[in-house]
Amino acid sequence: MKNNPNKLWLIVLALGWLFDLLFWEQNLGVNFAIFWTAALIAVFYLLLSDGLRPHRSSLFLLPLFIFFAAVTFLRAESMTTFLAYTFTMLTLTILAVTYLGGRWMQYSLADYITKFATLVANMVVRPITFTAEVRKLQTEAGVKPPRFNFMPIVRGIVIALPIVAIFASLLASADVVFGQRLDEFIKLFKLEDLPDYIFRFVYILVIGYALAGVVLYASASSKDEKLVGEEKPLIPPFLGFTESTIVLGSVLVLFAAFVLVQFQYFFGGTTNINVEGYTYAEYARRGFGELVTVAFFALMMLLTLSGVTKRETETQRKIYSGMGIGLVALLLVMLVSAYQRLGLYEAVYGFSRLRTYTHVFLVWIGLLLVATIVLEILRKERMFAFAMLIASLGFAISLPILNVDAFIVKQNIQREINGQASEDLDSQYFIQLSDDAIPTLVEALHSPTLPDPLHEKVAAALACIRHTREQNESEPMWQSFHFARLNADKALASVEDEIDVFKIVDRDWPIMAVAPSGEEYYCSPYYYD
């Protein structure tokens, strides 16, 4: 790139312009995937044209990028899309910092933190140093600077624009005639949007500059020649074996006592729900929140102790590993207890987003605990960061595959049909779900097994959803195209006749859908966990 720096700057500025085209005054949709796919292709072109081939291990990140980028315009559920945006950027970041080295699977947590911080610093500093290096090489090679240099002109215009704007504003205030002429001049050239143009021009430059920093970092600093703590520990062990075993042993005894009590829940079922007067909600919250918090901090404690504990003999290593494995095994039992409690809660109240997230999360954190035991046995503690990354990716991948909102609709309606629910179907909850839920609601409405009372509830929910969409949605531009919205529109169009019979009363709050039978259904969503 030093031989042809103009190619770098032209491409990154073109990407900055593409960002403006795709995102200026646009909602997120297919534009996110288009931009980052274009950026990835451009970066690969720049690096490959310089003879810099990616490491084979780094290429494993590309399928992950494609999957998460696609999810951003295929799913509309909030947590699913948030994780899709997050992991799209995460995979690109890991690819940038390991492009040449490809050792991301061997990274520790310290490596990830260090590499990401270094990448951010390079995005700020590297383009400046690169420009200086190019000038130095050109001087040493005897290359004369071009006769006509545009940069002084560009700098002069950038400095002059705000100064002229300030003086023009003051002079327009001082003389009415001049002010009118100035307004006519601005309207003639459509300069009323000049502040927006200046702002957009600046952020195009900023985005291009930052992307140049990423390209330059990947081309020169992504070899992974040395990892943090690979040759010697980052923090040398300083805590004695006795002290550590006392800490681990104390926590083991506490956890073992807790697990003994938990066995009544495994075999008691719903008969234990009202122990000490707890409701189902209190029972599930205590079964999830506190236990997951315990699991997290216990894992952090174990990892910290493993890093700072002196284990001078093989016997000490075996004892410590055995205690660590025992601790993680007890944590697994505690998570099984949390999972059991959540199942009892859902048996009564059905599924919500939070409960669905919890179910999936408990599975993946359980697998992470199993991986921790295996790594401890194999003495591959350094691989814990990779195991944690895989568990995080697994959770993020599971949600779009499951299709959270569609899953909630399907499960709750099926529970009602099967007579498993102790309370009536809360169709009002469907109103606050995303576009992902609408095709499943329409499918349920067309189901011949749906009883008439449920049919009316589902149709009322769809009538409320259509009314809300009509009030809140404007026609999106192509940049904001989203498959979930398209599928929802098609599904609603297919049941127009069935939901047109509902009268929407929106003169007062709350808004209601009135069925032909006279039954009133609230269209005002509310939150519950």
Residue 18 — very low, low, confident or very high, per pLDDT cuts 50/70/90?
very high
Closest to 390 in 3D by CA, of 369, 358, 370, 364: 364
Residue 268 — very low, low, confident or very high, per pLDDT cuts 50/70/90?
low
CA distance 22 to 153: 29
Would you call 510 helix, strand, or coil by DSSP? coil
- Please tell me which of 135-149, 156-170, 279-293, 412-426 the model is most confident about, judged by mean pLDDT: 156-170
Q: What pLDDT is stored for residue 2 in this prediction? A: 67
Residue 44 — very low, low, confident or very high, per pLDDT cuts 50/70/90?
very high
Question: How much is the average pLDDT of 457-484?
Answer: 84
Question: How much is the average pLDDT of 298-322?
Answer: 84
- Please tell me which of 178-192, 319-333, 501-515 the model is most confident about, judged by mean pLDDT: 319-333
- Please tell me which of 158-167, 287-296, 409-418 the model is most confident about, judged by mean pLDDT: 409-418
Phi, psi values for residue 106, rounded to 5° = -100, 5
Q: What pLDDT is stored for residue 232 in this prediction? A: 67
Per-residue pLDDT tens for 432-470? 899 999 999 999 888 888 888 888 888 888 888 888 888
Question: How much is the average pLDDT of 101-124?
Answer: 88
Sequence-distant (≥ 6) Cβ neighbours of residue 364 within 8 angstroms: 391, 392, 394, 395, 398
Instruction: Say what the pTM is.
Output: 0.84
> 230 near 114, Cβ under 8 Å?
no
Q: What pLDDT is stored for residue 183 in this prediction? A: 80
Residue 527 — very low, low, confident or very high, per pLDDT cuts 50/70/90?
very low
CA dihedral sign, ordered 514, 459, 280, 81: negative
CA distance 10 to 334: 57
Q: What pLDDT is stored for residue 393 in this prediction? A: 94
- For residues 161, 167, 171, 177, the Cα torsion angle rounded to the nearest 10 degrees is -10
Closest to 440 in 3D by CA, of 422, 420, 458, 426: 458
**Sequence ranges of the domains in the chain:** 5-220, 241-401, 405-522
pLDDT at 385 over 80: yes
CA distance 399 to 387: 19
Q: What pLDDT is stored for residue 380 in this prediction? A: 82
> 186 near 192, Cβ under 8 Å?
yes
Per-residue pLDDT tens for 318-338? 888 888 888 888 888 888 877
pLDDT at 528 over 50: no
Judged by average pLDDT, the poorest of 13-22, 269-278, 316-325, 328-337 is 269-278
* Helices and strands per DSSP (H, E), number in the chain: 20, 3
